[in-house]
Every structure is written in C-alpha cells, then in structure tokens.
Amino acid sequence: MTRVLVVATSRKTRGGITSVVKAHETGEQWRRFHCHWVQTHRDGPMWPIKKIFS
C-alpha cells in the first residue's frame, strides 16, 4: 500500500498552496494513496509561541 505524507501550510491559511492541497484532498488520488496532511504553519500572530519561550 502506497502512502503519501503531504507537508504544507495549515488548512486555515489563505493562499495558493493551501488551495491546491485542498483540491487534491477532494480527489480520488487522495484516498487511493492514503495521503496525510501535516500542517507546518498558519496565518496569524506569533504571540502564542513567544509566550511559550519567554
């Protein structure tokens, strides 16, 4: 069984890469290749991370 790990921006991010991955997610190939989307980052402020490290 083939599996694909998709490393891309968050589903909540506004932009081209997210739109492309969402389009692929609705396709047959997403299920056939057992794709899994790992979200690397998102739009918005960095304050939650700054708070953790301060």
Contacts for 25 with CB less than 8 Å, ≥ 6 apart? 35, 37
What is the chain's mean pLDDT, rounded?
Answer: 85
| Neighbour count for residue 10 (Cβ, 10 Å) | 15
Model confidence pLDDT, tens digit, residues 16-35: 999 999 999 999 999 999 99
CA distances from 13 to 1, 9, 30, 40 (A): 30, 7, 20, 10
SS3 30: helix
Number of domains in the chain: 1
Domain of 37 in residue numbering reads as 4-53
